[in-house]
Amino acid sequence: MLKADRFARILDHVARAGSADVHQLAELLDVSGATIRRDLQALDEQGLLRRTHGGAVTGTVNLELPLRHRAGRRQEEKRRIAEAAAALVPDGAVVGLTGGSTVSELAHVLAERVGGAQGSLTVVTNAVNIAADLIVRPEIRLVVIGGQARSASYELVGPAADQHLARYRLDFAFIGVDGLSAAAGCTTHDEMEAHTDRSFLRVAAHRVVLADGSKLGRATFASICPLEEIDTLVTDVDPAEPEHAALESADVRVLTATGDMA
């Protein structure tokens, strides 16, 4: 297992459990205790968890993993979600993309699809990693929204981004979330990011949330919007209760991208 993969799994485990000891993590990852101790020390130095005697803890209820640690997780599920979401987009559409690993995967799928047709798609994004991937593709008209940079998500957010977005009209806005629940609606870890996500939704004709099954039934710090303010959820599992009932009541279309989809 690569070090980056170990780091992501360690952070995910500690974020969910609140703490973990070296023995637990060594068993989980099938590596030696010495390897886990080195990994925990490196993650402590990056400020991503707090090293303790015999293990590690996080003082944050919902730790936000930096995008570089999230990108390789649940990759198969994210690809299926991205392909289902891309099927919603007709040629010539104006598409808004926020940051996050699942939306980044959608950007890859859309780029593969448009091929060599000049100007066949317009992408408006505040994610610098998406912009870097798409700028080399002349067939995509790219508009980058400016703002304050967030190192955790590679997004540009804040008042400048919101003002910039107000100048445009989108056919589709695709946003990633850190949580989607019946009680809290769509949520994320950062307040400014949530505000900019709302700005994307506000200027879009079709408002689409991409969320793998780990996000369903979960609520994080900052509210993006209630479920009534989205049109479609694209996920990889059928939502359980109470989310299923809440989505149905809010008239949200649910597209479930399962492994047996054609």
pLDDT(166) > 90: yes
- For the record, the structure tokens of 54 come out as 């015999």
More reliable by pLDDT, 204 or 67: 204
The residue ranking higher by pLDDT, 138 or 230, is 230
Whole-angstrom Cα distance, residue 157 to residue 137?
24
SS3 assignment, position 125 = strand
User: CA 125 to CA 100: how far, in whole Å?
Assistant: 11
Do the beta carbons of residue 167 and residue 94 sit within 8 Å? Answer: no
What is the pTM assigned to this prediction? Answer: 0.75
Determine what percent of the chain is predicted with pLDDT higher than 70. Answer: 88
CA gap 65, 88 in Å, rounded? 29
Return the pLDDT at 259. 65
pLDDT digits (tens, 9 = 90+) for 186-210: 999 888 999 999 999 999 999 999 9
Range 125-141 average pLDDT:
92
Nearest alpha-carbon partner for 174 in 107, 225, 241, 238: 107
Buried/exposed code over 114-141 (b: 16+ C-beta within 10 A; e: otherwise): beeeeeebbbbbbbbbbbebbeebeebe
CA distance 11 to 254: 30
How many Å apart are CA 189 and CA 4, to the nearest integer? 22
pLDDT digits over 15-59, tens only?
A: 767 788 999 899 989 899 999 999 888 888 776 778 888 888 764
- How many Å is the Cα radius of gyration of the chain? 19
CA 224 to chain centre: 13
Specify the higher pLDDT residue, 254 or 152: 254
Nearest to 143 by CA among 165, 123, 128, 163: 123
What is the reported pLDDT for 55?
85
Question: Which pLDDT value is given to residue 231?
Answer: 98
Contact criterion met (CB below 8 Å) for 175 and 205: no
